[in-house]
Structure 1
Amino acid sequence: MTVLSTENLQQMGDELFDALKTCRSIEPLIARYPDMDIDAAYAVQQHLMQRRLESGERVVGKKIGVTSRAVMDLLGVMQPDFGWLTDRMVYNEGESIRADNLIQPKAEGEIAFLLKKTLMGPGITREDVIDATDGVMACFEIVDSRIRDWKISIVDTVADNASCGVFVLGERLVDPREVDLLTCGMVLEKNGEIVATGAGAAAMGHPAEAVAWLANTLGARGVALEAGEVVLSGSLGTMVPVAAGDALRVTIGGIGGCSVRFA
């Protein structure tokens, strides 16, 4: 088994950072290191995020990736992962996103949680998440991969900050106790046509369960979900490719909608 040095891990993080800044893709990391494991991938992610923070970005939340069966089947990645959200990833409702600032973007309809209390695992439950949540919102996560042609393994997407691109939050904040997060239906429209549907249960059985998983997984690494942060709880349907000229809207029953355009 290849033992990856700190220098190896940092080099991969630097490559991903440079790919992000120059808007280009690189070959899969797993092709270079076939026995690279998830712990090594998270070490690469940590270095990548260190580079982003040193460049002036600020953490505003976290995201859960690969939560729905539809996305697992599409990518061939069969377990969830997590990444970090920064202030440079945020777009406002209805705001136009320049497609040429991304490499190979795809849109996901999700439920975002705005936290009013800090959550630190282990032992966080779905009920703890609901109690700690100020409100939920419909949102788009625009995932993007710095790995060429989306040919990713779990270690590639983990290293690449869970393939996070940018995200857009809806304007309506809803008390999570006032909506059935399990059965709420999601409809994603692209240029006026329905291209994806789903429900809250697609996110690891329940969106708050997904957030609890994240709190406990991060807690094992000594990291909390902080009060005031946004948590993206995972796609409720398949990923939808987007390009310049596309207009998308996601609507989630009981929560509201979110719109985005690509220029």
Structure 2
Amino acid sequence: MTDTTQQAADILMAVRQGGPRVAGLGAAAPRDEATAFAIQREVLRRRGARAGGWKCAAPPGKPTSAAMLDAAGIRPGPATWPVPPGEKIGIETEIAFRLGRDLPGRGTPYTLDEIKDAIAACFPAIEMVASRYIDPSGVSPLEAMADSIAHAGLVIGAEVPGWRDMDLKSLTVRQTCGGAVQVEKVGGNPSGDPFTPLLWLANHLPGLGMTLEAGQVVTTGSCTGLLWVDGGQRVTGGFAGLGEVVVDLA
């Protein structure tokens, strides 16, 4: 592990432990994807955490991205999520999958049918978002990945039977906060189809010395966009036919 990886982890851990947010990682910013993932792994290690899944996106014509999710931060809904006084938290409604078997690296890429066959369950999810940067839109994509793309946690809904017969890319998504509808529209996955980033991730990780594993949860990008909200409210997010998730912001 390089000195800059350690320095970047020092900066991000200081914020996680109550220090002020930072403008960026400065000279410790990663210069390649492998280093960004190394920083993610080091932060997880220092927190005594393990990777219980991934968030990923593969939008057409834009950079791909992925981040490991702390297993302890993946919680079943309904759930209560703390929001520090005077602060906001980001919320995003997404479609997530749980893998039923490992997807080890191999000589040929996985096909979409193989990826679908490896999925054990599908359900709605609300990603909780909290960046360690003052302005998360002002850092480089690699710095964002080093900070797990502002991931704070994932609240997941119940597994839905019959999801294989649904057109997941065209479901109506609905998100409310405090009883008010924030988003209601058809589709919205940034990659077009929630299977697209999962397929990309399965084929991309082995080149970085990592693989998807049975039991991991993979969430596939916000269908609602990122909205920042105050605590003390109830958030619901879900999809027609796929159920919803409830989070009470404490």
Instruction: Return the alpha-carbon distance in structure 2 between the equivalents of residues 81 and 136 of structure 1.
Output: 21
User: How many residues are aligned here?
Assistant: 247
Residues 259 and 244 (structure 1), Cα distance of their counterparts in 2 relative to 1, 3 Å cut = same
| Alpha-carbon offset, residue 23 of structure 1 | 5.9
CA distance in 2, matches of 1:23, 1:237: 30
**Is 2:132 aligned against 1:146?**
yes
Question: What residue number does 1:107 align with?
Answer: 91
1:176-255 mapped onto 2 (5 Å cutoff) = 176-200=163-187, 202-255=189-242
Map 1:1-263; keep pairs closer than 5 Å: 6-22=2-18, 24-29=20-25, 31-32=26-27, 36-52=31-47, 55=48, 57-65=49-57, 78-100=62-84, 105-121=89-105, 123-150=109-136, 151-200=138-187, 202-263=189-250
Residue 62 of structure 1 deviates from its aligned partner by 1.3
What is the TM-score of this pair, normalised by structure 1? 0.84
Distance 1:217 1:143 in 2: 24
Between 1:191-200 and 1:217-226, the stretch displaced more is 191-200
AA partner of residue 98 (structure 2): L
When residues 190 and 42 of structure 1 are mapped into structure 2, their CA distance, relative to the original with a 3 A threshold, is: same
Gaps in structure 1 of 5+ consecutive residues: 73-77
Larger % of helix: which?
A: 1
In the alignment, residue 61 of structure 1 is paired with which amino acid? Answer: G
Measured in 1, the distance between the counterparts of 2:30 and 2:5 equals 14
CA distance in structure 2 between the partners assigned to 1:21 and 1:163 by the alignment: 15
Matched-pair contact (CA < 8 Å) for 2:234–2:246? yes
Instruction: Give 3-state SS (helix, strand or coil) of 1:148's partner.
Output: coil
The letter of the residue matching 1:127 is: D
Conservation of the 8 A alpha-carbon contact between 1:137 and 1:174:
no
Q: 1:89·1:166 contact (CA, 8 Å) conserved in 2?
A: yes
The answer to whether the Cα contact below 8 Å between 1:63 and 1:233 also exists between their aligned partners in 2 is yes
Change (3 A) 1:247 1:39: same
Q: How many angstroms apart in 1 are the aligned matches of 2:239 and 2:158?
A: 13
Tell me, what secondary structure is at the counterpart of 2:124?
strand
Q: Deviations over 1:215-244 (max 9, x none)?
A: 112121121111111111111121111221
Task: Give me the identity figure in percent.
Answer: 26
Cα-to-partner distance string for 1:28-58 (whole Å, 9 max, x where unaligned): 12x5468834343233223222222xx2x23
Distance 1:47 1:58, change over 3 A: closer
1:81–1:35 Cα change, 3 Å = closer
Unmatched 5+ residue regions in structure 2?
A: none
Structure 1 residue 154, shift from structure 2 partner: 0.2
Contact 2:88–2:231 (8 Å) recurs in 1: no
- Contact (CA 8 Å) 1:181, 1:201: kept in 2 or not? no
In structure 1, how many angstroms separate the alpha carbons of the residues matched to 2:85 and 2:111?
Answer: 38
